[in-house]
């Protein structure tokens, strides 16, 4: 997964010849799934057109506080823009703009946004060799970084003047790679492996029919995505599901039966730090699977069912350093049954669903859960999207493993 996916990126473009590269930078950011808002300094329009940038970003390009052609126009609120952005990229960052950033000069919309922003700010210097080497520029580069701004180093190469040396703005691909690497370094689950199970299992009766359930896998897929966003190496073991992890760096292992899921989980559990078993695994399977389709001849059909392996208990018995999370879907005595399951299966946390709660359970896009920890703490959640529930769960896991 690109760590820029679904991020709000404000790209500031200043008046330097390297602004021509910014069009491609916009394209790359959008391709990575980011929401891009371009803010041009007034002079930057001499180097790159708003039409190009608005077409690529799919958003109107901003340059002034108001539309100068419309005296009744609503102003472009620099405070709102600064709060909207998950991070700001200023590329190219000219010597002039960096000097203003250092000294708190606010004579255009971009600088007003910069001074209002609470988010991380990346800047990519771009200027000629002698300007880049000048003492005032070196001072500004150091001072901006002291204040928490992140510099994307200028590259060595041929410059617009014909000189060869430092000062060339990093290539757009390098800027995207630098930002993703920097973000990943600060993610809380970097270096951790998270195992997630999702979806139903299907237990074959014959080549056509099976025993299954209504699980869509959505909850487990959202948990896997949430863990990936936090920097974890994620292995997702899923039964049959139409859910997608496209765009995410997640290793997906597809299984069908409870036995296949059991083997896959045991193949990865030893190396993981966190395991979240949200799959709705069939409790029973046919004792015998017919090799040919069963013909409809009699008025009734008898099937002998046998228990499947209890995956959650089996790894609870093996657990050493792992933080283990299970799910419980209950219809009566919910809290008591969930607590019993947590204890019997040696879990650290259990996520309780009740089919009595409207909007919870299989198939839908929302869920209402209660988190019960081994320490006895109970946290009752509200009805939320499954994405929000997954985020809440991963936040709680992070808090507990760092406690």
Q: In terms of Cα–Cα distance, which of 302, 32, 42 is closest to 172?
A: 32
Helix, strand, or coil here: 172? helix
Q: In terms of Cα–Cα distance, which of 227, 245, 235 is closest to 265?
A: 235
Distance CA 18, CA 155 (A): 12
Place of tokens 């960096």: 98
- 8-13 and 323-330 as β-strands: parallel, antiparallel, unpaired? unpaired
| CB atoms inside a 10 Å sphere around CB 6 | 14
For 128, left (φ over 0), alpha (ψ -120 to 50), or beta?
A: beta
What is the number of residues in the chain? 403
From the candidates 8, 59, 77, 213, which is the catalytic residue? 213
Distance CA 28, CA 11 (A): 12
Cα–Cα distances in angstroms (integers) from residue 171 to residues 14, 157, 168, in the given order:
16, 11, 9
Q: What are the φ and ψ backbone dihedral angles of 285, each rounded to 5 degrees?
A: -135, 155
What percent helix, strand, coil does the chain show, rounded to 5? 35, 25, 40
Active site (annotated) includes residue 149: no
Distance CA 248, CA 261 (A): 22
39, 13 Cβ separation under 8 angstroms: yes
Distance CA 260, CA 136 (A): 65
194, 233 Cβ separation under 8 angstroms: yes
Q: What are the φ and ψ backbone dihedral angles of 364, each rounded to 5 degrees?
A: -85, 180
Helix, strand, or coil here: 285? strand
42, 189 Cβ separation under 8 angstroms: no
Residues annotated as catalytic are: 213
């Amino acid at each position: 997964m690109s760590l820029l996916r679904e991020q709000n990126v404000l790209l500031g473009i200043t008046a330097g010849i390297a602004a021509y590269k910014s069009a491609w930078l916009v394209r790359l950011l959008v391709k990575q799934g980011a929401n891009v808002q371009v803010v041009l300094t007034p002079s930057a329009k001499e180097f790159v057109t708003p039409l190009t940038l608005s077409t690529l970003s799919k958003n109107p390009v901003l340059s002034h506080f108001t539309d100068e052609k419309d005296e009744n126009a609503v102003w472009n609120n620099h405070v709102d823009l600064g709060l909207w952005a998950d991070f700001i990229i200023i590329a190219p960052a000219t010597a002039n703009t960096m000097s203003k950033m250092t000294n708190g000069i606010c004579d255009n919309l971009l600088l007003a946004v910069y001074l209002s922003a609470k988010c991380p700010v990346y800047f990519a210097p771009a200027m000629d060799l002698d300007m880049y080497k000048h003492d005032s520029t070196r001072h500004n580069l150091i001072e901006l970084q002291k204040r928490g701004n992140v510099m994307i180093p200028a590259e060595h190469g041929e410059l617009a003047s014909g000189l060869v040396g430092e000062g060339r703005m990093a290539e757009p691909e390098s800027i995207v790679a630098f930002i993703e690497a920097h973000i990943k370094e600060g993610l809380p689950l970097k270096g951790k492996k998270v195992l997630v199970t999702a979806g139903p299992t299907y237990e074959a009766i014959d080549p056509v029919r099976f025993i299954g359930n209504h699980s869509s896998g959505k909850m487990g897929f959202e948990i896997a995505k949430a863990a990936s966003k936090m920097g974890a190496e994620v292995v997702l073991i899923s039964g049959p599901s139409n859910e997608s992890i496209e765009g995410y760096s997640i290793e997906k292992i597809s299984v069908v039966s409870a036995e296949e899921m059991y083997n896959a989980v045991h193949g990865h559990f030893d190396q993981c730090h966190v395991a979240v078993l949200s799959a709705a695994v069939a409790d029973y399977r046919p004792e015998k699977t017919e090799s040919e389709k069963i013909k409809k001849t009699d008025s009734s059909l008898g099937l002998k069912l046998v228990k499947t392996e209890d995956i959650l208990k089996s790894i609870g018995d093996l657990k050493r350093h792992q933080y283990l999370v299970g799910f419980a879907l209950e219809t009566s005595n919910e809290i008591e049954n969930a607590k019993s399951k947590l204890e019997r299966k040696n879990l650290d946390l259990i996520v309780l669903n009740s089919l009595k709660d409207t909007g919870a359970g299989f198939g839908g896009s929302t869920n209402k859960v209660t988190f019960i920890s081994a320490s006895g703490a109970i946290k009752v959640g509200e009805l939320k999207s499954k994405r929000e529930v997954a985020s809440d769960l991963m936040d709680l896991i992070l808090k507990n493993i760092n406690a």
